Amino acid sequence: MAAADIHRTIEAVWRIESARLIAGLARMVRDVGLAEELAQDALVTALEKWPESGVPDNPGAWLTATAKRRAIDHLRRGKMLDRKHEEIGRELEESQASAADDVEAALDNPIEDDLLRLVFIACHPVLSREARVALTLRLLGGLTTDEIARAFLVGEPTIAQRIVRAKRTLAEAQVPFEVPRREELQARLASVLEVIYLIFNEGYAATAGDDWMRPELCADALRLGRIVAELLPREPEVHGLVALMEIQASRAAARTGPGGAPILLLDQDRTRWDQLLIRRGLAALARAEALGGAFGPYALQAAIAACHARARTADETDWRRISALYAALGEVTPSPIVELNRAVAVAMAFGPAAGLELVDRLNAEPTLAEYHLLPAVRGDLLFKLGRLDEARAEFERAAELTRNARERDLLLQRAAACAADPAPA
């Protein structure tokens, strides 16, 4: 295997394994920053050794074993060992070897628990809201600072500073690696749900790279959401979020073609939608509504997704209800992105001119200046109105702004279609 192929393989493995690796290490060393450093050390070792030795049969296990050894070595050095002895009690204060054995055993504990603990650490009240989300995306999503910056529509240096400060703050506050007590958990729930959904979104529509989707991130987010739902069965917004993710995840198999090219919602083969996930999502939505959460932000978004899921064909979609639901969502959580989505629904329900009027109001919105979906949506509406030259320019601008290779190809195809078609489809 060529060196470039090995590096791409390592990057893919890191995307899949980094969250589990950091979570397991953080449980033992009680320091999120140190856990990430140890995991990064294992990654560096892989970059050094795999080009010569080849990719192991089980690369995730290789990274875990390498990180374990580094954690054990660290605990065997003085201060961390003494601190570990104090934490686990007198019965483990026998030798450095016993501490190392404890690391080995604990790193093999159920992975879901470690991931959930890591979410609550990253969402600790000592951090700002922005820092909580950025840190969790970094630790659990395995995202680069650039990708996180694009998700937040802010500069990369800002995100980098947030992550560094967040890890330093957690270390200084000596935040325990544990799920908070119920009363504290309630207060931190909104931030946790936001973080989980952002992780899901990065998996559902990757901001950068060669792949349209990162299924492993969707799976991690779904697992975390289901765990939180079990912890808080009476919280409607938890079920609302789970419903939203289940229904969106049901489309995964239909969202890409044989070569990995994106397939947009209205063009998807709905027979490929996962009916089990749809049923689970609709059941979770029903639980949220029964608990009085019909108008929570996640329940509203799940209700929108349910409209698509219930439509047997794209033509049967109830776009008027969807536009009304987006209007309600905009009242609950005002956002230019929500307004952009509402514009799409309005265009489908009442015609492209009505949608374009809403989109044009967003042109001066500073947070959308580099957001590729704004020109993409505007290009689509202009195309439907027969304004092909303007549409082509918008699609080309959207292609320049996106960092996802698959999405860029799709947008350039749309631009080319504007030059080829004398009238809108």
Q: Compute the half-sphere exposure of residue 393: CA atoms within 13 Å on the CB side of its CA.
A: 4
Mean pLDDT over each residue of the chain, to the nearest integer: 85
Classify the C-alpha dihedral 80-86-92-93 as positive or negative: positive
Asked if the model's pLDDT at residue 147 lies above 50, the reply is: yes
Q: Phi and psi at residue 3, in whole multiples of 5°?
A: -60, -40
Mean pLDDT of 326-337: 95
Question: Would you call 208 helix, strand, or coil by DSSP?
Answer: strand
Question: Would you call 209 helix, strand, or coil by DSSP?
Answer: strand
DSSP 127-153: S-HHHHHHHHHHHHH---HHHHHHHHT
| Count of beta carbons in the 10 Å neighbourhood of residue 49 | 13
CATH of the domain at 403: 1.25.40.10
| Count of beta carbons in the 10 Å neighbourhood of residue 141 | 26
pLDDT, greater one: 182 or 49: 49
Please identify, among 58, 89, 109, the residue that sits at the C-terminal boundary of a domain. 109
Asked if the model's pLDDT at residue 274 lies above 90, the reply is: yes
Question: Would you call 318 helix, strand, or coil by DSSP?
Answer: coil
DSSP state of 56: -
Question: Would you call 425 helix, strand, or coil by DSSP?
Answer: coil
Asked if the model's pLDDT at residue 96 lies above 50, the reply is: no
Strand partners, 208: 403
Contact of 33 with 167, CB cutoff 8 Å? yes
In angstroms, the CA 305 to CA 318 distance is 11
Q: What is the percent of the chain with per-residue pLDDT over 90, rounded to a whole number?
A: 43
Q: Using pLDDT thresholds of 50, 70 and 90, give the confidence band for residue 108.
A: very low
Mean pLDDT of 132-157: 80
In angstroms, the CA 378 to CA 421 distance is 18
Q: Is residue 59 part of a domain?
A: yes
Please identify, among 54, 77, 109, the residue that sits at the C-terminal boundary of a domain. 109
Question: Would you call 403 helix, strand, or coil by DSSP?
Answer: strand
In angstroms, the CA 63 to CA 389 distance is 51
Q: Phi and psi at residue 208, in whole multiples of 5°?
A: -150, 170
pLDDT, greater one: 175 or 277: 277
pLDDT, greater one: 120 or 315: 315
The closest alpha carbon to 87, from 183, 172, 203, 177, belongs to: 177
Residues spanned by the domain of 33: 1-109
Q: Using pLDDT thresholds of 50, 70 and 90, give the confidence band for residue 277.
A: very high
Q: Is residue 275 part of a domain?
A: no
| 55-87 confidence digits (pLDDT tens) | 888 888 888 889 888 888 887 775 555 665 566
Q: Using pLDDT thresholds of 50, 70 and 90, give the confidence band for residue 88.
A: low
CA separation, residue 31 to residues 25, 38, 169, 192 (Å): 9, 11, 11, 19
| 207-253 confidence digits (pLDDT tens) | 666 666 777 778 888 988 998 898 789 999 999 999 999 999 999 99
pLDDT, greater one: 90 or 396: 396
Q: Is residue 240 part of a domain?
A: no
Mean pLDDT of 395-417: 92
Give the 3-state secondary structure of 222-270: HHHHHHHHHHCCCCHHHHHHHHHHHHHHCCHHHCECCCCCECCHHHCCH
Asked if the model's pLDDT at residue 14 lies above 90, the reply is: no
pLDDT, greater one: 104 or 393: 393
Q: Is residue 236 part of a domain?
A: no
pLDDT, greater one: 348 or 108: 348
Mean pLDDT of 44-64: 86
Please identify, among 81, 109, 137, the residue that sits at the C-terminal boundary of a domain. 109
What pLDDT was estimated at residue 92?
40
In angstroms, the CA 26 to CA 38 distance is 10
In angstroms, the CA 284 to CA 230 distance is 12
Q: What is the percent of the chain with per-residue pLDDT over 70, rounded to a whole number?
A: 88
In angstroms, the CA 366 to CA 153 distance is 10
Please give the tally of structural domains in the chain: 2
Contact of 208 with 150, CB cutoff 8 Å? yes
Bridge-based pairing of strands 208-209 and 403-404 is parallel
Q: Is residue 205 part of a domain?
A: no
Q: Is residue 27 part of a domain?
A: yes
Structure tokens given for 196:
């989980």
What pLDDT was estimated at residue 50?
87
Q: Is residue 98 part of a domain?
A: yes
| 291-321 confidence digits (pLDDT tens) | 999 999 999 999 999 999 999 999 999 999 9
Q: Which of 3-7, 104-108, 418-422 has the weakest average pLDDT? A: 104-108
Q: Is residue 383 part of a domain?
A: yes
Q: Which of 35-49, 74-88, 98-112, 316-330 has the weakest average pLDDT? A: 98-112
What pLDDT was estimated at residue 216?
76
Asked if the model's pLDDT at residue 423 lies above 70, the reply is: no
Q: Using pLDDT thresholds of 50, 70 and 90, give the confidence band for residue 94.
A: very low
